[in-house]
């Protein structure tokens, strides 16, 4: 390990950045260094600009992917190397806003019914029932289930924050049946490696297999179930603030985007056209075909 990488890891560790963030930043800086075949310490604003153009125009990466690389370079030059120009000379790309594709309640049922593995169905059902991120669902432990208070404890979710979410009575019934069959000990959903939880890749593969079996044309991932959870709660009348707490969103603005996809709430609104008095259609103009 190079001294620069070691310093950067130490700087990220001191600031308690998530492990996934640390791994992504180190990887992005390594790719940046290989692109120029030089140490990042010997590169400056001109090289950073050229690299961002390369990512945008040559590799044609998405704004979100470029944003990860930009965040890594900003951290490297501002925090680890303490360059005065870091933030000003490394612009963050603006992300396009895309609404998530939402599964209906019937589609969620069809999807879950199409999951063959008992463990995979249990973890995906948990993600939907509690609105969990896939990393949160896969890292649940047996001790996170509180059947007395009917809650699930999410330990150190995104942003290193703990939170409690509801434990559905139906989910509890399903988890008890799953536990009797599998008998997990530490992790609620153990993986193939001893002592490790199920991987995100395994859950993702199960999603794609179930989507094909269900015949649903919409794209489906484990995160789709979290989107469906929020939208279905909103459509059933749950207030946005409660949904924010359940999802663990830092900002209410993030949760409010579900107002745009809650079709039974938004699209059920009466159009002003329907409130106008009916007007008789004008008679066809003489000489014109009757269908015009």
Establish whether 15 is a catalytic residue.
Answer: no
Establish whether 178 is a catalytic residue.
Answer: no
Say which of 153, 158, 163, 257 is annotated catalytic.
Answer: 158
Establish whether 158 is a catalytic residue.
Answer: yes
Establish whether 223 is a catalytic residue.
Answer: yes
Say which of 74, 119, 120, 226 is annotated catalytic.
Answer: 226
Q: Strands 161-166, 145-146: parallel, antiparallel or unpaired by DSSP?
A: unpaired
Distance set, CA 161 to CA 31, 73, 156, 189, 206 (Å)? 31, 26, 5, 21, 28
Asked if residues 70 and 51 have their Cβ atoms less than 8 Å apart, the reply is: no
Asked if residues 83 and 40 have their Cβ atoms less than 8 Å apart, the reply is: no
Establish whether 226 is a catalytic residue.
Answer: yes
DSSP conformation letters of 70-128: HHHHHHIIIIIS--TTHHHHSPPPPPPP-PPP---HHHHHHHHHT--SHHHHHHHHHHH
Neighbours of 33 (CB within 10 A): 19
CA angle 242, 247, 248 (to 5 degrees): 95
Say which of 120, 133, 211, 232 is annotated catalytic.
Answer: 133
Establish whether 133 is a catalytic residue.
Answer: yes
> What residues are annotated to the active site?
133, 158, 223, 226, 249, 258
């Amino acid at each position: 390990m190079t001294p620069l990488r070691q310093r950067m890891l130490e700087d990220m560790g001191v600031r308690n950045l998530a492990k996934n963030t640390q791994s992504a930043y180190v990887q992005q800086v390594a790719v940046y260094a290989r692109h120029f075949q030089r140490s990042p310490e010997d590169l400056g604003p001109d090289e950073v600009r050229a690299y961002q153009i390369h990512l945008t125009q040559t590799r044609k990466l998405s704004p979100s992917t470029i944003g990860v690389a930009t965040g890594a370079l900003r951290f490297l030059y501002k925090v680890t190397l303490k360059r005065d120009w870091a933030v000003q000379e490394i612009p963050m790309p603006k992300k396009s806003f895309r609404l998530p594709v939402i599964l209906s309640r019937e589609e969620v049922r069809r999807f879950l019914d199409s999951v063959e593995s008992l463990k995979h169905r249990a973890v995906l059902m948990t993600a939907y029932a509690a609105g969990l991120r896939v990393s949160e669902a896969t890292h649940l432990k047996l001790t996170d289930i509180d059947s007395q208070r009917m809650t699930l404890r999410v330990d150190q979710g995104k942003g290193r924050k703990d939170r409690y979410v509801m434990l559905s009575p139906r989910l509890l019934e399903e988890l008890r049946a799953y536990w009797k069959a599998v008998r997990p000990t530490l992790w609620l959903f153990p993986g193939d490696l001893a002592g490790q939880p199920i991987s995100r890749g395994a859950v993702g593969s199960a999603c794609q297999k179930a989507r094909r079996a269900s015949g649903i044309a919409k794209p489906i991932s484990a995160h789709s179930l979290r989107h469906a959870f929020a939208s279905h709660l909103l459509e059933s009348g749950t207030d946005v603030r409660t949904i924010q707490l359940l999802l663990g969103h830092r900002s209410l603005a993030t949760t409010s985007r579900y107002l745009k996809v809650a079709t039974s709430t938004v699209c059920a609104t009466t159009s002003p056209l329907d409130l106008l008095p009916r007007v008789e259609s004008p008679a066809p103009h003489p000489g014109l075909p009757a269908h015009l």
